[in-house]
Amino acid sequence: ISKIAVLTSGGDAPGMNAAIRAVVRSCSYYSVSCVGVYRGYQGLIEGDFEDLDARSVRNIINKGGTFLKSTRSMEFKTKEGRAKAYEKLKEKGVDALIVIGGDGTFTGGLYLSQEFDIPIIGIPATIDNDINGTDFTLGYDTALNTVVEAIDKIRDTASSHNRLFLIEVMGRDAGDIALNSGIGAGAEEILIPEEETGADRLIDSLKRSKKSGKTSSIIVVAEGEKSGKNIFELAEFIEENLDDYEIRVSVLGHIQRGGSPSCADRVLASKLGVGAVEGLLDGKRGAMVGIHHQKVVFVPLEEAIKGEAKIDKELRRVADITSV
Q: Which is nearer to ligand F6P, 131 or 287 (CB)?
A: 131
CB 151 → ligand F6P: shortest distance, Å? 17
Q: Which is nearer to ligand F6P, 214 or 257 (CB)?
A: 257
Establish whether 128 is a catalytic residue: yes
CB 104 → ligand F6P: shortest distance, Å? 8
| Interatomic CA distance for residues 301 and 123, integer angstroms | 10
CB 12 → ligand F6P: shortest distance, Å? 8
Is 215 one of the annotated binding-site residues? yes
CA distances from 109 to 58, 180, 295, 309 (A): 27, 30, 23, 22
Q: What are phi and psi of 307, to 5 degrees?
A: -80, 65
Q: Which residues bind ligand F6P (CB under 6 A)?
A: 11, 102, 126-128, 170-172, 223, 257
| Interatomic CA distance for residues 109 and 122, integer angstroms | 8
Q: What are phi and psi of 145, to 5 degrees?
A: -65, -40
Indicate the residue type of 8: T
Is 254 one of the annotated binding-site residues? yes
Q: Answer for the pair 222, 256: CB distance below 8 angstroms, yes or no.
A: no
Q: Which is nearer to ligand F6P, 19 or 238 (CB)?
A: 19
Q: Which is nearer to ligand F6P, 170 or 219 (CB)?
A: 170
Is 294 one of the annotated binding-site residues? no
Is 171 one of the annotated binding-site residues? yes
Give all strands of the β-sheet with 3-8 in edge-to-edge order: 49-52, 33-37, 3-8, 96-101, 120-124, 287-292, 295-300
Q: Within a 10 A sphere around the Cβ of 72, how many other Cβ atoms? A: 16
The beta strand positions in the chain, using DSSP E, are: 3-8, 33-37, 49-52, 96-101, 120-124, 163-169, 189-191, 217-222, 246-251, 287-292, 295-300
Is 25 one of the annotated binding-site residues? yes
| Interatomic CA distance for residues 123 and 129, integer angstroms | 12
Q: Which is nearer to ligand F6P, 217 or 256 (CB)?
A: 256
CB 210 → ligand F6P: shortest distance, Å? 32
Is 170 one of the annotated binding-site residues? yes
CB 127 → ligand F6P: shortest distance, Å? 6
Is 72 one of the annotated binding-site residues? yes
| Interatomic CA distance for residues 246 and 239, integer angstroms | 8
Q: Answer for the pair 131, 140: CB distance below 8 angstroms, yes or no.
A: no
Angle at 10 between CA 4 and CA 11, to 5 degrees: 125
Annotated catalytic residue: which of 48, 51, 117, 128? 128
Binding residues for ATP: 11, 72-73, 102-105
Binding residues: 11, 21-25, 72-73, 102-105, 126-128, 155, 163, 170-172, 186-188, 214-216, 223, 248, 254-257
Binding residues for Mg(2+): 103
Binding residues for ADP: 21-25, 155, 186-188, 214-216
Catalytic positions, please? 128
